[in-house]
Amino acid sequence: MGCGAAGYGAVRGPPGPRGGEAGASQRAGLQREVPSNCIKTSKYNIITFLPVNLFEQFQEVANTYFLFLLILQLIPQISSLSWFTTIVPLVLVLTITAVKDATDDYFRHKSDNQVNNRQSQVLISGVLRQEQWMNVRVGDIIKLENNQFVAADLLLLSSSEPHGLCYIETAELDGETNMKVRQAIPVTSELGDTSKLAQFDGEVICEPPNNKLDKFGGTLYWKENKYPLSNQNMLLRGCVLRNTEWCFGLVIFAGPDTKLMQNSGRTKFKRTSIDRLMNTLVLWIFGFLVCMGVILAIGNAIWEHEVGVCFQIYLPWDEGVHSAFFSGFLSFWSYIIILNTVVPISLYVSVEVIRLGHSYFINWDKKMYCAKRRTPAEARTTTLNEELGQVEYIFSDKTGTLTQNIMVFSKCSVNARSYGDVQDMLGHKAELGERPEPVDFSFNPLADPRFQFWDPSLLEAIKLGDPHVHEFFRLLSLCHTVMSEEKSEGELYYKAQSPDEGALVTAARNFGFVFRSRTPKTITVHELGRAITYQLLAILDFNNIRKRMSVIVRSPEGKIRLYCKGADTILLERLHPINQDLTNVTTDHLNEYAGEGLRTLVLAYKDLEESYYEEWSERLHRASSAHEAREDRLAQLYDEVEHDMMLLGATAIEDKLQQGVPETIAILTLANIKIWVLTGDKQETAVNIGYSCKMLTDDMTEVFVITGHTVLEVREELRKAREKMMDASRSMSNGFSYQEKLSSSKLTSVLEAIAGEYALVINGHSLAHALEADMEVEFLETACACKAVICCRVTPLQKAQVVELVKKYKKAVTLAIGDGANDVSMIKTAHIGVGISGQEGIQAVLASDYSFSQFKFLQRLLLVHGRWSYLRMCKFLCYFFYKNFAFTMVHFWFGFFCGFSAQTVYDQYFITLYNIVYTSLPVLAMGVFDQDVPEQRSMEYPKLYEPGQLNLLFNKREFFICIAQGIYTSVLMFFIPYGVFADATRDDGAQLADYQSFAVTVATSLVIVVSVQIGLDTGFWTAINHFFIWGSLAAYFAILFAMHSDGLFQMFPNQFRFVGNAQNTLAQPTVWLTIALTTVVCIMPVVAFRFLKLDLKPELSDTVRYTQLVRKKQKTQHRCMRRAGRVGSRRSGYAFSHQEGFGELIMSGKNMRLSSLALSSFTARPSTGWIETLRKKKGSDSSTAGSPSSATSKALKV
């Protein structure tokens, strides 16, 4: 496929060994190379890895800073430290990060190869051959088989179904689970075998690649004719072929040009907020470093000018230095090198090690392992762990993420009685763990063994011949658009366009009303073992406006009846007044079902007179043939006949949620995390799931529904919603004024502090207007004031736009979670992307940063791993800056006493080993293992999560507190020993003060003080913490004594000249008293402050720890808690994931095989053997008075 001069693409089919690629390339005016079908989610290859990865790493300010220092250290005139002290850690950091990035990208390559190496049948030289997906090209003809994924965007040519129909599931594209029908154009639908397809030489001129999932425009030129093409003729990559044995398609778009990949967005380089803050802090520290260097350089110039000139004879200036000013200039660079340890490169090595450890904790967490799918949680990146502890907004897909894509017939109401609740011996509703065995349907040879129902009283009503119950299930077996396939005797397979319909027809099947087959004019149902064929007179199809569907059938006795099912809000208005009492009871049942989050439909019927039906049918025929206002005329006729109906009852279907979804959402909400559901599904379905998972509740003040089709309508609906919320707020705050206009840089609205709970539901077409530049702030303001937000019918690109909008204005950490290819775009856009390894393929997992198998694990990922990661990283950074400022600032104070000569206090081995050996492992242990409260308390007290959202534990204020403490420590560390040594003497009366003794005393004080400080900072002690802290102290003394030993002096006399200095210094009681005094004075203010804070202003974590200690002292009390019964709801529980058009398709017979059409003359052998088992009546002549169908009751007599 190439781009023509007009900007359109051209694809030509065979002839040629591989069909259309030759033809496409021959087209005049092609300006664009045809892409392969290979997809790529990886960032690097072997050639680009080194330059691209180094470029990314040097975007970190710290890495550039260390490279600059390295260059300075290579200049001997200004360097007082060896160059290897910087280059070794720098290369180590770059290598560790590069290896980590390479590993991450290797797994992306591996995943890409998995997808690209899938097999597909391609027509080559008239023969079908197995080809890898990546070798599929534009113009190829591909054969797909049932349940296979579509490899590329295809033009449907032919299929195994009549009239070139095929059925697809688009859950990966738009999140909808209901099947959709696609149809080949008539001229190609007969190309069913490979010999005819090999001769197909048509050419397709079509639109260029784009991301619009619901639109396609093109023309097929073949045999000197042209045929228009639309989206109904296309099979898009990511779809799954369902209920169709095979089909053939012509590849139109491949690889990155497919609509799926066009919607997937680009892979973005993600960095945490702490990383971004660190870059800012490094710049500030560098500025601070320059200021200190300038002060010391000025001091050096003054000292050399005033004092240094007096010592020129035996302390001459270095070669090349001819003035005090130039000496100060060189001194500036020397001090920059000496003082650079305020930000040591080991900080970044330690950060990477800590993040790696946190990632392994996630991977090893057995509580996030799904035994059923054998899927562990996986941290697919190691750079975002602490951001998991700062999430404020979660954007979730619905289908496959919150739900299981499984519909279950749960309850029903028939003739004012509710069925489906299981009762225990006392007549109470049984709990899940107390349920008895499900109803036994073994007597029914046609029952679906997977169907389960828990209330035996419904089956008893069937056995007792309750006419209302019979009519209820008769309606379910007749009023639908399901297709039935019977591959062997008694083995039925239903092809349902929506899972709702499948669940209802399967329920009727198990209770004895088995839908067997259909033709365009008949429906055959086995009612309690007896085959009855109804004449299908009309299907009044479902659509989103009518919210109902009806069938008109003629029974074998000649009686005409209309059966209808639909939304309670619609059907209850169309009932005959005689139903009032029954309606009241049924409404109560509907409210109860809605309160449990079940999807409800109301069932009704109406008997029609023959004369009325004939006259109505004639008007229907004329309306169907009308050229103008056809839809309106049909709707009017449908509305006319669907009045004065008799109520039968209601159904309640459970759209099964993933395990633990309501509890997870409730706890995350308590953690002040806002959850938005972004789904491609219908509004009713999405809202129903919102109630099921307790995002929406009946206690909410109001649920705003935005459905405007124009910019003005959407703006007005948003304005009204804001006004309602503000009116409530004003009434609570005595007329608080509200400013309409907001700052675009930072959205802070009084709406977020309103009284009451609100929810916002918005449709895709309305969202398109709401996301426009002049309205996006209004939309976001309204949405953020609501407790829950549900966006329905949204495209994958709109999902990403909503996430980007929140990132842009709220400056909050966002997390997107989904399981399908339609979620990839928002997963890539959010700060953190989580993939559910579910049933919709692996595209979401490939694009994600973290993956697991169930939504409920998100709670543990954030509240335990995320919170701990944030806490550990913040404590690590605070301590690291503290200990390095305490270490480095001693040089600054010493500069005033050494003539500003850039002389170091410590020897260079201590400077090198301080961050690598003496203080590295204890802070690593704290950064990896520390925790403030156990994991159970983290889950019990979600409010513990809020400090991360508010960024309280490490921010600019905390940073300044840390460096202030470090500077305070350095002042005491230098001046206490300096003051003591001024007049101190040894035991033998000699002067104690000398440079080496002073250096040993200060260094020892420093190591002990920072070790005590990390002991105070550690909240969770493990054996590793003890070993590292006390081991580091032991290592310090061991190395100190070794460097001042005779052995090293004899081996390296020029390097280790001060033999016995450490032993002599530390043998003096004065030195140890000095060290003890320094330690106490440095640490006591910290201890006093923490005790006061704990007593006067404790944090929640302190309170939880105290509670835990109290609990340990008390005896554990076991409470047997019983689940509270659900209350009813006064809202509609209607939801039906059905699509318009299937009724017309069935009535036309286009989707019927010839074999199924012949079934109209087939009459099954009556199976009466199981009827006696079914019907255990006490009397054979029970009254049939009040039966909705006397003809049916006759048919039931054996």
Query: What's the one-letter identity of residue 478?
Result: L
3-state secondary structure 216-237: CCEEEEECCEEEEECHHHEECC
Catalytic residue among 257, 397, 655, 1017: 397
Amino acid at 1042: A
397 is catalytic: yes
Phi, psi dihedral angles at 880 (to 5 degrees): -65, -45
**φ, ψ of residue 374 in degrees (nearest 5):** 55, 45
Q: Tell me the backbone φ, ψ of residue 153, rounded to 5 degrees.
A: -75, 115
Distances (CA, A) of 502 to 407, 506, 638, 836, 1136: 8, 6, 24, 26, 11
Please classify residue 946 by burial: count the beta carbons closer than 10 Å to its beta carbon, then call 0-12 exposed, 13-18 middle and 19+ buried: middle
In angstroms, the CA 414 to CA 650 distance is 7
Q: What are phi and psi of 35, to 5 degrees?
A: -75, 155
- Token pair of 179 as six digits: 């099947």
Query: In terms of Cα–Cα distance, which of 36, 40, 34 is closest to 114?
Result: 40
Helices and strands in the chain, H and E counts: 42, 34
Rg (CA), the chain: 38
Strand partners, 169: 240
Strand order from edge to edge, sheet including 127-132: 127-132, 119-124, 141-145, 246-253, 153-159, 234-235
Bond before 520 cis per omega within 30 degrees: no
Amino acid at 349: V
Those residues whose C-beta lies under 8 Å from the C-beta of residue 954, and which sit 6 or more positions away, are: 274, 277, 873, 874, 877, 878
- The string of DSSP letters for 517-581 reads EE-SSEEEEEETTEEEEEEEEEEE---TTT-EEEEEEE-TTS-EEEEEEE-HHHHGGGB-GGGHH
Residue 505 makes CB contacts below 8 A (sequence gap 6+) with 476, 477, 480, 482, 494, 496, 515
Please name the residues in contact with 971: beta carbons below 8 A apart, sequence gap of 6 or more.
889, 893
**Could you tell me the maximum CA-CA distance found in the chain, to the nearest angstrom?**
134
Using DSSP's 3-state secondary structure scheme, residue 353 falls into helix
Rounded Cα–Cα distance for residues 288 and 292 (Å): 6
- C-beta of residue 83 within 8 angstroms of C-beta of residue 66: no
Q: 585 by DSSP, 3-state: which?
A: helix
- Are 102 and 50 contacting, i.e. CB atoms less than 8 angstroms apart? no
Q: According to DSSP H, which parts of 242-323 are helical?
A: 259-262, 273-306
Residue 892 to residues 65, 964, 1070, Cα–Cα distance (Å): 20, 15, 25
Across 764-839, the runs of DSSP E, i.e. the strands, are 788-792, 813-818, 832-836
Q: Please name every residue paired with 763 in a beta bridge, in sequence order, or none if there are none.
A: 792
CA distance 691 to 584: 23
Q: Are 146 and 239 in contact (CB under 8 A)?
A: no
SS3 content of the chain, % helix, strand, coil (to 5): 50, 15, 35
User: What is the rounded (10 degree) CA torsion for 918, 923, 926, 932?
Assistant: 120
Cβ–Cβ under 8 Å, residues 692 and 662: yes
Residues taking part in catalysis: 397
